[in-house]
Amino acid sequence: MKQRTCVTCGGRVHTPKREGAVRELAVRLSRPATYPAIYRLLHSLSVCASCLESLPFIGEEICRQCGRDMRAERYISEGRCRDCVREADEPLQGNRSLLRYDQDGKSMLSLFKYRGDERLADYYGTLLAIAAFRFYTLSGFACIAAVPLHARRLQERGFNQADLLAARLGRATGIPVQPLLRRTKETEKLSKQWGRASRQESMREAFSWDERAVLPGGACVGSDSRGDDHQNLTKQIAAEIGFLLGSWFSLRSAISHDSPANTASPSNHRKTLPAGLPKILLVDDIYTTGSTLRSCARTLRAHLGPVCKIYSLTMYE
């Protein structure tokens, strides 16, 4: 069998030290219910023991809104960071990220974004799945949606890194992946120098609802034939949420057929849809100011009504 090499340092992945490192980290990142899934995901990462140990995982003290590491924050109010306290109209229920964005992360991410390296897609997809099990109760999500690229950018690059991540996250969690959004406005690259206000402004109305988003009941992305316990469990969850989302989409189209004017009125959704449904998980590679994810969440809520709860998940913050 071919020896796997570490995506970070190029060394051998499987060394005697690795099993201990995986177990230790799995304990740190999980609750009893999520330990088996997180252990399995860590085990499958193409990373050696020392690179695994040096990954900058965001700790326990996080902003309860954006998930930022709060250890270095000086201003904290009711568990939220300064930026989240200032945000007047917050369409996201919350964001969670797995790693701090350091220099190593920066170089790895640009390799992935501009070359679309398959091994890095697997690596990052697995990290996102770890983050999903670590921070969220997954059975509540109706679907996963990637932050889309503008058609022109997509043509230049040939792939959307968030789509690759969403597909892998879908496979690992059993949650169906849906193209819910389209990017209608080509935004400038958002560099660090940009102020928060200009980022928010540039992202305003950058997305629209994707009309391809019609889900057949029970459709699921992410099942394969391995048939072990985890796969069976995720298949079962996928079938259930696929069914829920399917019935919910039919309900929604029934509403819009009866009275087309109602689609723009959120209060109608609130009356008709079952409480607590649906939750959607948005996926992107990095949370900087959150303006991209917020803009996506606003578009989804404008289309689906405020009953829809939008959460997000990124590798870096």
Length, in residues, of the chain: 317
Handedness of CA 164, 69, 308, 37 (dihedral sign): positive
CA dihedral 176, 245, 287, 47 (to 10 degrees): -20
Q: Give the nearest distance from C-beta 179 to Zn ion in angstroms.
A: 28
Examine residue 144 and tell whether it contacts Zn ion (CB under 5 A). Answer: no
Provide the 10 A C-beta neighbour count for residue 223: 17
**Euclidean distance between CA atoms 293 and 84, whole angstroms:** 14
Examine residue 9 and tell whether it contacts Zn ion (CB under 5 A). Answer: yes
Q: Identify the residue among 8, 161, 288, 299 touching Zn ion (CB under 5 A).
A: 8
Examine residue 288 and tell whether it contacts Zn ion (CB under 5 A). Answer: no
Q: Identify the residue among 29, 84, 121, 281 touching Zn ion (CB under 5 A).
A: 84
* The two three-digit tokens of residue 293, written as one number: 């994810």
Q: Give the nearest distance from C-beta 65 to Zn ion in angstroms.
A: 5
**Segment near Zn ion (CB under 5 A); pick from 55-63, 131-139, 187-195, 281-289:** 55-63
**Euclidean distance between CA atoms 308 and 279, whole angstroms:** 6
**Euclidean distance between CA atoms 59 and 196, whole angstroms:** 25
**Nearer to Zn ion among residue 86 and residue 189 (C-beta):** 86
Count of positions on this chain that bind Zn ion (CB under 5 A):
12
Examine residue 108 and tell whether it contacts Zn ion (CB under 5 A). Answer: no
Q: Identify the residue among 81, 98, 99, 108 touching Zn ion (CB under 5 A).
A: 81
Examine residue 63 and tell whether it contacts Zn ion (CB under 5 A). Answer: yes
Please say whether the beta carbons of 81 and 72 come within 8 A: no
- List residues near Zn ion by CB under 5 A: 6, 8-9, 11, 48, 51, 63, 65-66, 68, 81, 84
